[in-house]
Structure 1
Amino acid sequence: MLSPLYVANEYVLRRPLGAVVQHAERERWADTVVDWFTFGENRQHLIVPTALYDFGLLPCVGFYYSGDDVFASGNQLRLHAATWGPRWINATAADRYAIDKSDRVQVRFEFKRSEDNLFFGIGPDVVRDARSRYGLERTEGSLAYRGQLTAAARLDVESGVHRIAFVEGECCGDPSLDAQIAAGAVMPPPGYRAPYTAGYLRVAVTRDTRRPRPEPGGGTYLSLQARPSFDLGGGRSWIQYGGVAGGAVDLTGHRRTLRLQLALDFVDAMSDDRIPFTEYPVLGGEGMPGFLPGWLTGRSAAAAQVGYTWPVWLGVDAQTRLTIGNAFGEHLDGFGLDKLRVSGDVGFTTSTAYDQGLELLFGLGTDTFDRGGGVTSVRVSIGTRRGF
């Protein structure tokens, strides 16, 4: 199953891009690009065009702005806006202020309207034939604090409100979720078509002994988070919680890093068991990159991943990852080795400190082992990804 990943990595990605990289280094492309997109007395402002094409989702184009010491010393402003017409709109703004070297606060706002959201069902046994689309409109505002506890540990606290509303959704030749429900192909997910407004408080503690570049990339990391939410109009409440633990070994001391990690996510009711499915843990995207976001949804999710990352150029890393996991019922109900899926991917990603990165990815995802483990998902993604 993984031989196509090797062929794609070797002959489609590594060798052709290796030749491009060598030419770019000789011609000093990196310096030229920086000059194009930065401005200001100290080059503290950056503005770049953005675009993302994740095959199977609507594409988008837009811009990203990054400004340091905006309005006041120590204040950072980040803006991102992208669209593909009225069917896909996303606008995000974040203003951060550094209180000192260890503490900062942030105000953030985001609006997103998307008519291409995927839904296959809930739990480990979803099948490709149940694929459907729905539309979602999300508006969120939050206030956050980050404090450095030790050299390797930090605390994040965030409080906010988000509004979720459903809109018509169709994309890419797939039937709408409404049509699939009417045909009896899938059951209506909990809370579908019922708009709500929820307040939340997120607390996360992270310990990460990996050092920033150019130091070697080995170390261990552990992140634990909990996020209680309260429906401001319906009397419901629920809590999302989970974490990721892992370790990395730098094989050469030059950022050729082998990484192993385990991630677990859960959502439980605190009052009234009617948790909207839009608050469920989702795999796909970063969790299992061989699947599009939305493929795997459940009351809990588990994923174990081994990955290898190596530098290929200034600010650019190549990576390959193999992930085993799935979405399950409450508290991993239904978990079994035969219910696991495999995700494998290769690609390139930027390693700079900016909140906007560039990624090229090719991935495959499989069915569960008890159904043969055949490839059911092919993912190709190229473009910029927002990280704030």
Structure 2
Amino acid sequence: MQNATRVTGRMRSGHARPFAGASAWIISDGKAGHEALCRGVAEALGLAAEVKRVSPAGLWRALAPWGPVPPSEKFGTPHTPFAPPWPQIAIAAGRTTTPYIRALKKKAGLKTFTVVLMDPKTGPRTADLVWVPEHDRLRGPNVVVTLTAPHPLSPERLADLRARPSGAITALKSPRMAVLVGGPNDRYRYPKPVIDKLSETVRSLAGLGAGLMITASRRTPPELVATLDEVAREAGALFWKGEGPNPYPEFLANADAFLVTADSINMAGEAAATGRPIYVFEPEGGADKFTAFHAALRAKGVTRIAPDRFGGLDTWSYTPLYAADVIADEVEQRWQRRKSLLAGLT
């Protein structure tokens, strides 16, 4: 296990911060997606959180989330990574972090407010507060449910990036279209007909004169990367293929509209924080939770199904979805009630 640098919080406009100056831990399994969930909530709370990464091995990894913290880690004893003084708040995400947040809740008692992001599989009593997306089934009196997931791309951060775009972005034609491309996973497939279809969809956007900002992921098939690279060069578009600094936050902030592949719930959720139109491209396959998520976004007027070829671009707007603030508000309210209870007992 190793400790990482601290995550610096932000000030929410016009919002008092009950956790100002509070000590905080993020318990992380090292996965970037899980850590982003935690960072989003920590920053919305205005916390400077210490990241504690865990990596149990062998039997202890296999037993997670139901088993204990490996005894060799001596959880709660001096001179170990998890030792007093206990933080006022701890946030965790990921199966292998569950034993640690459960152990912390037991050791620290009411001194630490514990938060688990995503279903811990061990029940809502695992932590003081549990967040799950709408398409998950877990419910309970301490379970917070939102349509999109928390992330660090706050409205304030997007506004700041929008106020100072890079020269490469300002040089693009208007409207600017961010094309966020995922790839095959255990639910979606990208056979050649799908690759050809998506390539033609993107070409049609270029044909409309839109300024394209394209990103690929680690899952994007090489054949699709090559085709998109050709389209980008022909259209004078920006295309990030995983090399150099990631311009993804800048693309989100400065896009007038989006084309997002349906295989990534996170990309659609992050784009939804902008209030800008989102078209969703459906690869082959799917799963119930993805279908439910995308149907809910369409019902809220956030997204529309992408046409095979764009003959024009529609414009629409909606209230931006930013789950981190919703979760942070719930944490703050519950923490204030706990402080009042503790004060009444002294």
TM-score, normalised by the number of residues in structure 2 = 0.24
Which structure is higher in RCO with an 8 Å CA cutoff and minimum separation 6? Answer: 2
TM-score (norm 1): 0.23
Q: Whose strand proportion is higher, 1 or 2? A: 1
